[in-house]
Amino acid sequence: MADRTSTGGSGNIGSAIVNALLLYGINIWPGWEVLPFLTAGMARVLDLINASLIAGIVVGVVCVLIRSRALLAVGNLVALGFGMAAIIRVWEVFPFDFTGGWPGWPVLVRVLLVIGAVGSVIGAVAELVNLVRALAGIEPRPRRR
């Protein structure tokens, strides 16, 4: 039986809407091609970026419809996995051209990718803990105000 504790329904819908808008903006209008610092290599990373955004949309919608802490944790793990795959692909391809701009841009972008990867790992560990707690029936601690 699915537990009916709050899984942040409005946050899930908000996240799904943002992901849908990003998916639309990157692929349809105005499209990634309008950004002058992106190279044709972006086409090589777009599939994983799209998969990550779609996973986020699906997780957000499903978790609003089926309110289960365990399902939310599994969904977030899947979305984090797609996100990590996208980060790794962007690192490998590095579809950016900062010629003529500030020379520190490539280093800054790499640092941001590392921060994203570290955040994904931390998020995955937290979701694994949430999954174990949900499956064991351990209620989350009430938040102190």
Q: What is the pLDDT of residue 8?
A: 60
Closest CA to 55 of 29, 86, 34, 26: 86
Closest CA to 110 of 95, 91, 84, 88: 91
In this prediction, residue 141 has a pLDDT band, given cuts at 50, 70 and 90, of confident
DSSP for 84-111? HHHHHHHHHH--B--TTS-TTHHHHHHH
73-132 pLDDT, tens digit each: 999 999 999 999 999 999 999 999 999 999 999 999 999 999 999 999 999 999 999 999
Which residue type is seen at 127? E
Residue ranges of the alpha helices (H) in the chain?
9-27, 42-65, 69-93, 105-136
36-89 pLDDT, tens digit each: 999 999 999 999 999 999 999 999 999 999 999 999 999 999 999 999 999 999
In this prediction the pTM is 0.88
Q: What is the pLDDT of residue 26?
A: 97
In this prediction, residue 144 has a pLDDT band, given cuts at 50, 70 and 90, of confident
